[in-house]
Structure 1
Amino acid sequence: MVFRDYIILIAVIMIVLMMVIPLPTILLDILIIFNLAIALTIILVAMNTKEALQFSIFPALLLLTTLFRIALSVSTTRSILTNKTAGQMVETFGQFVVSGSAIIGFIVFLILVIVQFIVITKGAERVAEVSARFTLDAMPGKQMSIDADLNSGLISDKEARERRTKIEKESDFYGAMDGASKFVKGDAIAAIVITIINILGGFAVGMTVHNLSMGESIEVFTILSIGDGLVSQIPALLISTAMGIIVTRAASDGNLGTDITKQIFAYPKLLYIVAAFVAMFGFLPTINPMVPFAIAGLVAVGGYQMQKNLNRTEEESFAAEEEQQLEEVRSPESVMNLLHVDPIEFEFGYGLIPLADANQGGDLLDRVIMIRRQCALELGVVVPVIRIRDNIQLQPNEYVIKIKGNQVARGDLLLDHYLAMSPGVDDPSIEGIETTEPAFGLPALWVNEEMKDLAELSGYTVVDPPSVVSTHLTEVIRRHAHELLGRQEVKSLIDHVKETAPALIEELIPSLLSIGEVQKVLIKLLKEKVSIRNLTVILETLADYAQSSKDTDVLTEYVRQNLSRQITLQFAQAGEPLKVITAGASLEKRLADSIQQTEQGNYVALDPESTQKIYQQVLEQVQKVQQTGTQPILLTSPAIRMYLRQFLERYMFDLPILSYNELEPEVEVQSIGVVNV
């Protein structure tokens, strides 16, 4: 704990002791001056903050200063009743305000307390209450706005986290201010009670203890009580004003003084109207014309000077902006910005703008947020920000999806229609515009609102255009997730694992494998749509086997075998046998005999005739399985799986190829086809 922390702790303890231990008058004078200095510091800081969170300690500080004033009032009351004095500060304030009349002094003190209690404290308390309520109610909307900006690429992940943290702090701050305002309200009430007690108690104590006459007792203790109330309430009034400034302060680029002068005098021409209005008072017979004319002249001259300064500032700003634009054009860095390529882009024609425009009911940005969350849960990768923009070069109803600047998918939408996909048996009564479902390539129809209900009754799957887009985008991301996983993304994933398993990362990277080699393994898994969310198991497997082999193909096979439960659940349904196409012994032998070993790795080398024959055999079995409505899965031995995958990858990218070691023992496997050559 640093020294300043001890000072705060000691100060709080001393404040409590002040209520119990009598203090000498010289120390009371010091503490009263210190109380005034603290209050003045607080209001000056409040006036110079640009936003409320810059003075986030204010609620706690309000409690401490209130406690300090109460302790000081108790100490001065004790000294007044005991010694008929509370130091020179209290007596000076009392004499100055009373001015020979105790009644006038009490009225002035009462006015100060009422102003603080009813005007400032009451208003600040209400503003704090409303601000806390509206800040809390606005949190969901602000969070959605941040997510929308993040998805559109306007802000980075770091800026999004900072904005979310700021929103949470604002909610906490205004909630605390709502409660802290009650301290000031209670302090104002306590000040009135303490002053009345001092006057009445002093009157009784003066006559009974100090043997003063009634007049002397009233004079002495009224002056001291009013002086005590003033030295306590003037700092309280300053701090109450500071509280009002804080809770009514909007976020700004300047302090209160700058904002007042900038905004009130932002329209200099209006000051001419004010000057003319003030000058009119000079024509009244009962008013000396020199006073209003002089003030009107000052206002008019001030307006003229401000108008000149405003024009000069606008000219300088315009010239500086033009110069900056010219510098950016001349600068070689302006060309570098053109080289940036977004990881994922979604571009659409002007006819599809309502999809992304929230004012027209579009929820594409919200759907993109859910897609990123879904991909993180299913694949274990953090999908980069998806850049969404309109493109006038596209057809009005056309959209394209790009990965790293290259188009990978496209589609067409009719916003006033629904996409209806047949259940297998077409109903001739369902009329629409023939098309193809973009995500899976199924034949479909665009039907209007009237035909929608009829299509649903006929068993068609009917979806709206936003759902078509989100489904297509999700499938494209799944298919190309391995292209989005760069070294920097792998480094971020590894750093995330390091927070919970530092020993694993220290052993694996970089002594056994580099980040690039880990990236290759993860890419191979994602290519076959195997989730890498369980990254700890993957890295544990790599740490176990990387000492014996650096071949990323071999390491990938070890990882797949350790993920057997995950892979089994991905393809097998509970209680049902797993239907597969089996690679025959002749196929496995042909591939095993054709493996060529090189320094760059092992690969299958087959002549064109054998390649075509194997491909035709596999395609024939796959088509038979697809006709039964079952997902085709090719099952082979562990030793040959990766080579069979390499061989078929170019022709049948989406065909799952599993080995026996990747299936859990309790899963029943049913062969519905065999591939032999």
Structure 2
Amino acid sequence: GRPCEMTPIRMPPMALMKVMIRPAIIISIAAGFLVSKAGVEGTADKAFVTQLATNPVSLGVVSGASALIGLVPGMPLIPFMALAAATGFMAWRLGRARLKPQPTEAELAAADPNAKPKEDVEEPIGTALAIDEVKIELGYSLLSLINDLEGRRLTDQVRALRRSLAQEYGFVMPSVRILDNMRLPTQGYAIRIKEMEAGAGEVRLGHLMAMDPAGRQVDLPGEHTREPAFGLPATWISDSLKEEATFRGYTIVDPSTVLTTHLTEILKENMADLLSYAQVQKLLAEMTGEEKKLVDELIPSVVTVTTLQRVLQALLKEKVSIRDLGAILEGLAEAAPHTSSVTALIEHVRGRLARQLCWQHRGDDGALPIVTLSPEWEAAFAEALVGSGEEKQLAMAPSRLQDFIRNVRD
């Protein structure tokens, strides 16, 4: 029936220090283990032993840390000093072993007369002849784009671009090789197609590119430049101006996106050249069902793979998607028995893709814009045709063609 009374516990300062320090040390060591273990395969105990046993610097750090912990008031001195001495001795032995000079090949041969001399293996000449179809060269400062901690890694964006081109054009982009080039500016890059430079530019790490959708110069402090893919006026601004630029309606992109956009436009311009014979064979091999039967009947008895490659290249050069490969093969099956002209085959395939072409070029209102020729221009083009049959070509004076282009634009 008596009320409960709480009596405060009084602890000496030294005991209180022990209670506070020991849990903090244990938590710090555990956190260090977790950080060191990240990205390392295998169990934590094996990784811990391996990292310590192979690095004298790590053992030296452990020895010094153990000695300091042993000197902390309230901590057991003898166990920590023993650990410091053991790890210090191991660090000294391991360091001496690394400093010991390694025997040369001549010394090894003298020690073992029966040993065969090491022969230099010549690298196959084929590796020197290999050509990278698509390659990105980065200046030294841009290597961090490959491992961007904010999730905008260049490799991830290239992977997404590969899928985007496949969905939009039916074109499977070759693998992209990314490497450094010390001859480039530190923040410069170069894009090569079959070892030939197809585009180059510079980006600014730690900054954002701001562009006015209307094509005007951005009215913000920063480094004025040109967007490399389309040549539009742009400005590199600091991250602190991002909100203001967004409020003004400017388009904001990061450096890796600028590079990827430039790569996208270059690939679109070179899809036809990058569509190789082997890639066409892969496209045919991946077809299934009824389309596979069509391939077996058509290739190569009616249409060769080379002819199909030329047709697909012509379509890609005009930015026409080849994703509907079944319709393209059906068009070739209809026209190939009547003509061997690649030009005639391409024209017939375009007719099979009429719905796709109209949808691709429709306006925002759904209408298809067209251009009609006046009787005068029809007569001019008819008179400029030379040759006969499938060899017929247009031979109009360049000045006359410029007049036609000017009239179309006006």
Same fold by TM-score, threshold 0.5 exceeded? yes
Corresponding position: 1:384 with 2:384: no
| 1:42-57 → structure 2 map (5 Å cutoff) | none
Amino acid at match of 1:327: V
1:433 corresponds, among 220, 223, 240, to 223
SS of 1:544's equivalent in the other structure is helix
Relative to its length, the structure with more helix (as a share) is: 1
The 1:489/1:585 distance shift into structure 2, 3 A limit, reads: farther
Match of 2:264 in 1: 474
Whole-angstrom distance in 1 between the partners of 2:406 and 2:118: 65
Amino acid at match of 1:472: H
Whole-angstrom distance in 2 between the partners of 1:580 and 1:600: 26
Contact 2:139 2:182 in 1 (8 A): yes
Match of 1:350 in 2: 140
1:612 corresponds, among 396, 399, 402, to 399
| 1:620-639 → structure 2 map (5 Å cutoff) | 621-622=408-409, 624=410
Contact 2:209 2:255 in 1 (8 A): yes
- The Cα offsets for residues 394-424 of structure 1, whole Å up to 9 and x where unpaired, read as 1111111111111111111011211111132
Whole-angstrom distance in 1 between the partners of 2:257 and 2:338: 48
Q: Who wins on radius of gyration, i.e. which is larger? A: 1
SS of 1:323's equivalent in the other structure is coil
Whole-angstrom distance in 1 between the partners of 2:373 and 2:285: 40
The 1:442/1:612 distance shift into structure 2, 3 A limit, reads: same
1:338 corresponds, among 128, 139, 160, to 128
Match of 2:97 in 1: none
Whole-angstrom distance in 2 between the partners of 1:321 and 1:535: 59
Amino acid at match of 2:121: E
Bigger relative contact order, structure 1 or 2 (CA pairs below 8 A, ≥6 apart): 1
Match of 2:86 in 1: none
1:327 corresponds, among 108, 116, 121, to 121
Contact 1:507 1:543 in 2 (8 A): no
Q: CA deviation at 1:568?
A: 1.4
Amino acid at match of 1:421: M
The 1:564/1:520 distance shift into structure 2, 3 A limit, reads: same
Corresponding position: 1:559 with 2:349: yes
Match of 2:193 in 1: 403
Contact 1:498 1:505 in 2 (8 A): no
SS of 2:168's equivalent in the other structure is helix
SS of 1:396's equivalent in the other structure is coil
Unaligned stretches of 5+ in structure 1? 1-137, 142-247, 249-262, 268-310, 625-677
Whole-angstrom distance in 1 between the partners of 2:326 and 2:116: 52
Q: CA deviation at 1:455?
A: 2.0
Contact 2:211 2:217 in 1 (8 A): no
Q: CA deviation at 1:479?
A: 1.4
The 1:323/1:592 distance shift into structure 2, 3 A limit, reads: farther
1:424 corresponds, among 214, 228, 232, to 214
1:578 corresponds, among 349, 359, 368, to 368
The 1:590/1:321 distance shift into structure 2, 3 A limit, reads: farther
Corresponding position: 1:508 with 2:284: no
Contact 1:551 1:601 in 2 (8 A): no
The 1:588/1:454 distance shift into structure 2, 3 A limit, reads: same
Amino acid at match of 1:530: V
Match of 1:460 in 2: 250
Unaligned stretches of 5+ in structure 2? 1-37, 44-49, 55-102
Contact 1:354 1:361 in 2 (8 A): no
Amino acid at match of 2:189: Y
Whole-angstrom distance in 1 between the partners of 2:313 and 2:117: 48
Q: CA deviation at 1:566?
A: 1.1
Match of 2:314 in 1: 524
- The Cα offsets for residues 114-158 of structure 1, whole Å up to 9 and x where unpaired, read as xxxxxxxxxxxxxxxxxxxxxxxx9xx9xxxxxxxxxxxxxxxxx
Amino acid at match of 2:233: P
The 1:448/1:359 distance shift into structure 2, 3 A limit, reads: closer
| 1:101-250 → structure 2 map (5 Å cutoff) | none
Contact 1:427 1:458 in 2 (8 A): no
Whole-angstrom distance in 2 between the partners of 1:383 and 1:489: 10
Whole-angstrom distance in 2 between the partners of 1:337 and 1:554: 40
- The Cα offsets for residues 560-590 of structure 1, whole Å up to 9 and x where unpaired, read as 1111111111111464323344343433332
Match of 1:651 in 2: none
The 1:593/1:613 distance shift into structure 2, 3 A limit, reads: closer
Amino acid at match of 2:341: D
Amino acid at match of 1:613: R
Q: CA deviation at 1:373?
A: 0.6
The 1:322/1:451 distance shift into structure 2, 3 A limit, reads: farther
Whole-angstrom distance in 2 between the partners of 1:321 and 1:593: 81
1:484 corresponds, among 274, 286, 294, to 274
When the two structures are superposed, what TM-score results if normalisation uses the length of structure 1? 0.42
Q: CA deviation at 1:559?
A: 0.9
Amino acid at match of 1:615: Q
- The Cα offsets for residues 233-260 of structure 1, whole Å up to 9 and x where unpaired, read as xxxxxxxxxxxxxxx9xxxxxxxxxxxx
Contact 1:354 1:360 in 2 (8 A): no
Q: CA deviation at 1:534?
A: 0.4
Whole-angstrom distance in 2 between the partners of 1:599 and 1:428: 55
1:593 corresponds, among 380, 383, 404, to 383
Whole-angstrom distance in 2 between the partners of 1:562 and 1:444: 42
Corresponding position: 1:602 with 2:392: yes
State the Cα RMSD in Å: 3.4
Q: CA deviation at 1:426?
A: 4.4
